[in-house]
Amino acid sequence: MCDFQKILESIKEKAEKTSEKGKVPTYIPELAKVDKNHFGIYLNMLEGNDYCVGDWDIKFSIQSISKVLSLAMAFNCLGANKILKRMDVEPSGNPFNYLSLLELEEGIPRNPFINSGAIVIADILISELKNPKEEFLQFVRDLANDQTIDFNYEVAASEAKTGYTNFAAANLLKSFNNLENDVDEVLDFYFHQCSIEMNCKQLSNAFYLFANKGKCLNNKTYLTSSQVKRINAIMLTCGFYDEAGEFAFEVGLPGKSGVGGGIVALLPGTFIITCWSPGLNPKGNSKLGMLALESFTTQSNLSIF
């Protein structure tokens, strides 16, 4: 049996010594202000023990990690079939904001984890829910078993002002009749969803059900085991933009990253791990977070492969 605490400590130590910590994204002004020296990890073992190091208890913007949670809510509401009529589940092989592929494939996003796919999921939820923002937030709070989780309204407003690429994507989707609701309404929901803030512990808890066959920390079941298998598969093949293959190759776990510097990954039946380090590599994933998870799976010898 590994000494997980020791592994986490050694990863943190190495991270602190690294001078090249990546770059915080400047295209979302609110995120550009974050200090890139933050570093935290929270490890949640299903057998009961938890381990943590560094800034595991400081909240950050979960950004694209929210796409997994909105997909889970859409699966929960509608099942997979209706969703798959409006998007594919193939890796895109391209950076997260490429519109070219969306145009070439006539408005059918490659998967729910590129921006255009997540915008369609947002559209689906708006059509299904009475109070989309409130209900989605409640869903996330329930998954994480923590009623303090909230949107960051400044971040949401900041993205609404400068998120031109997302407006381009949403309008392109609309031109292909793959958006039922108004562009502004859908993006308002989408920007709020992305603005949710959590710390490493809350995120690990929120992802508990993906390692536990659909059953949450609070023992409630939100997804069938077949749905969980499918969401995990999409995380593995599409969770890291055009670095998904690299992550599968080096880390070997389903996971999801966000431009807020968070990465969450999991081994079904065994653990959920969340790492936060705000500096990004050129592909838009947390630079130290990627290295931390690679180091964790190598040292612990735990992966799906």
Task: Determine which residue in the list 67, 86, 174, 287 makes contact with a copy of itself, applying CB under 8 A.
Answer: 174
- Residue 237-256 contact track with a copy of itself, rule CB under 8 A, x = bound: xx---xxxxx-xxx-x-x--
Nearest to 25 by CA among 257, 291, 295: 257
**Interaction between residue 281 and a copy of itself (CB under 8 A):** no
**Interaction between residue 229 and a copy of itself (CB under 8 A):** yes
Q: How far is the CB of 68 from a copy of itself (least distance, A)?
A: 13
Q: How far is the CB of 303 from a copy of itself (least distance, A)?
A: 6
- Residue 147-166 contact track with a copy of itself, rule CB under 8 A, x = bound: -----------------xx-
Q: 133 near 187, Cβ under 8 Å?
A: no
Rg (CA), the chain: 18
> Was 166 annotated as part of a binding site?
yes
C-alpha span between 223 and 212 (Å, rounded): 10
Q: Note if 98 is an active site residue.
A: no
Angle formed by the axes of helices 115-128 and 183-195, nearest 10°: 110
Q: Which residue is catalytic, options 67, 174, 201, 287?
A: 67
Q: Note if 259 is an active site residue.
A: yes
Q: Note if 264 is an active site residue.
A: no
CB closer to a copy of itself, 53 vs 71: 71
H/E segment holding residue 263 = strand 262-267
Q: What 8-state DSSP symbol labels residue 150?
A: B
Q: 41 near 56, Cβ under 8 Å?
A: yes
Which alpha helices (DSSP H) does 18-104 contain, by range? 29-32, 66-78, 80-84, 100-104
**Interaction between residue 282 and a copy of itself (CB under 8 A):** no
Q: Note if 229 is an active site residue.
A: no
Would you state the structure tokens that stand for residue 137, as one six-digit string? 């937030």
Q: 186 near 133, Cβ under 8 Å?
A: no
Q: How far is the CB of 230 from a copy of itself (least distance, A)?
A: 5
Task: Determine which residue in the list 30, 50, 88, 197 makes contact with a copy of itself, applying CB under 8 A.
Answer: 88
> Was 115 annotated as part of a binding site?
yes
Q: Which stretch binds a copy of itself (CB under 8 A): 8-16, 214-222, 257-265, 295-303?
A: 295-303
68 sits in the region (left: phi over 0; alpha: psi -120 to 50; else beta) called alpha
Nearest to 227 by CA among 75, 82, 122, 125: 75
**Interaction between residue 221 and a copy of itself (CB under 8 A):** no
Q: 12 near 278, Cβ under 8 Å?
A: no
**Interaction between residue 103 and a copy of itself (CB under 8 A):** yes
Q: Note if 228 is an active site residue.
A: no
Active site residues: 64, 67, 190, 241, 259
Residues found near a copy of itself in the complex (CB under 8 A): 88-94, 98-101, 103-104, 110-111, 164-165, 167-169, 171-172, 174-175, 183, 225-226, 228-230, 232-234, 236-238, 242-246, 248-250, 252, 254, 268, 298, 301, 303-305
